[in-house]
Amino acid sequence: MKYTQTHHFPQWEKNDRILMADFNAMCANMEKSLVSDRNDCKRDNIILDERIAQARKIAEAAQAAAGEAKELQHYVTGSYTGNGGTQSIPLGFKPAFLVVSGMLHTLANNTTADYDRYFALTAGHVLDKRVKLTSTGFTVYPAPYQGMNNPNLNQEGRTYDYIAFK
């Protein structure tokens, strides 16, 4: 009689006599194999649960480190679209220094008017009619009239980029 390689199950051929002892041995081997497989699955699940717990700890540590790194970053960048009115830009802190640019092209392609009208640097002591530094970010105001040389930091539809330093 031939047997399977992995579980030693009998492989009867047409001329083999099937004996009760062979059949019972086959069933005992199946039972032993199933119990062994179940124990292997339990062990693998325990190992998998341990690895999942480790991965969660690593992910939590990475999130905490990312949060700490963000806190250590000394500046924030972003953009906003002007609405033509008064608009508050939230940062989560009061900036010590702010740079705002609403220029449309590269530096070489902007006109002098672009520099005058759509670019600003401030530590909060000048340009108070155009931008105010607040405890949570900054507020931009509309230009009262077009002929003014002060920058327009909230022209409706214009995109402005900023960098705010802590």
H-helix or E-strand containing 141? none
At a CB cut-off of 8 Å and minimum separation 6, what does 155 contact? 82, 84, 102, 118, 143
- Up-side HSE of residue 47: CA atoms within 13 Å toward CB? 6
Instruction: Return the number of other C-beta atoms located less than 10 Å from residue 23's C-beta.
Output: 12
pLDDT recorded at residue 110 = 61
Query: In this predicted model, what pLDDT tens digit does every residue of 152-165 receive, in sequence order?
Result: 888 899 899 999 99
Residue 151 DSSP class: -
- Reported as a single tens digit per residue, the pLDDT across 25-39 is 888 888 888 888 888
Q: Taking the C-alpha atoms of 66, 72, 75 and 79 in order, what is their torsion angle to the nearest 10 degrees?
A: 20
Can you give the C-alpha Rg of the chain in angstroms? 36
User: What are the tokens at 95?
Assistant: 């900036």
More confident site: 57 or 69: 57
